[in-house]
Structure 1
Amino acid sequence: MTRSLSIAWRKSTRSTNGDTCVEVRPSEGGFEIRDSKLSAASPILPLPRAEFNEFLAHAEASPLRAGLPGEFNAGEARWYRVAALEVGYAANGMVALRLADQAADDILVYTADEWNAFAEGARLGEFAPETWSAELVAA
């Protein structure tokens, strides 16, 4: 398990959903991902730095999702292994993240708009590890 640093969570500048988005921050040895809708109650998914880069590359390549009403159904989603994570895509546009080796545990679920904003931020380099240097120096 990685140790969290005292660094604020970051969301994409493309997020127009207020406080409902994918959030990321560095941790000792890697990065952490959470769901801002749940705030401090959100499960946190830790990723080593190299695996976080792989996750970002997956998000960058992700096509825009069209959102439809409904819930995320884990059993019907198409799951893809991306580093230590599994990314699940539902037919209604929702996207979920979970640790691959703990698939029965915590899961983060995002609407199509939330995922699209994160993916666009990833394409713009907003979460690239080198963009965190000022925060890491201050920590």
Structure 2
Amino acid sequence: MIPSEWRNASDCNGASSCVEVLVDDGCILVRDSKLGVASPVLRVPVSSWWSFLAAVKTGQVLTYRGVLWVADVDAGWLMWLRDEPDVVLSFGRAEVAAFVAGVRGGEFDLEALKASSSESATVASGGHASGAPQKPPLAFVEPPQVSR
């Protein structure tokens, strides 16, 4: 499968400054659109993405201590991986607001990302200009069901 395009929240409205997300090889990749291909990329395991989204949706992202960490600074958010503290992304308030709205709207849920990947694969299977070979479909790990 040819990787889908980088996604950002619909609230970005084509702005060049957004949190961008891409599904690749069972991970969620996060980068800063302001930097484009020069942006550092944070590689988040799919299994950790669920808990990060839950923390964002419930407003607990600043106290969340999973794989992906966030700090609130005057200008917005700093985001880094717990095990790679030297690789930091910086997002302004407007970027954060658009990302949070997208998370709350379900735009970064795995189902939405799966649909995006499937659409890209369908388009690619109809013929891709580069003629690049197709990779097998990604395997998505669903979160464990918790009984309460």
Shorter-chain TM-score tier: 0.7 to 0.9
Point out where structure 2 has 5 or more consecutive residues left out of the alignment: 122-136, 138-148
Cα offset for 1:134?
3.6
Runs of 4+ aligned structure 1 residues displaced above 4 Å come to none
The alignment-based identity, stated in percent, is 31
SS in 1 for 2:22: strand
Please tell me whether the aligned partners of residues 54 and 82 of structure 1 are also in contact (alpha carbons under 8 angstroms): no
Amino acid in structure 1 at the alignment position of 2:47:
A
Match of 1:37 among 31, 34, 38: 34
| Count of residues in Structure 1 that have an aligned counterpart in Structure 2 | 119
Residue of 83, 93, 101 corresponding to 1:120: 101
Q: 1:81 to 1:61 in 2, by over 3 A?
A: closer
Task: Give 1:97's aligned residue.
Answer: 79
Q: Which residue of 2 aligns with 1:84?
A: 67
Larger radius of gyration: 2
Counterpart residue number, 1:72: none
| SS state at 2:12 partner | coil
Q: Give the superposition deviation at 1:133.
A: 2.7
Structure 1 stretch 41-50 or stretch 52-61: which is displaced more?
A: 52-61
Unaligned runs of 5+ in 1: 64-78
Give the drift of 1:62: 3.0
Q: CA RMSD in A?
A: 2.2
Counterpart residue type for residue 89 of structure 2: L
**TM-score relative to the length of structure 2:** 0.72
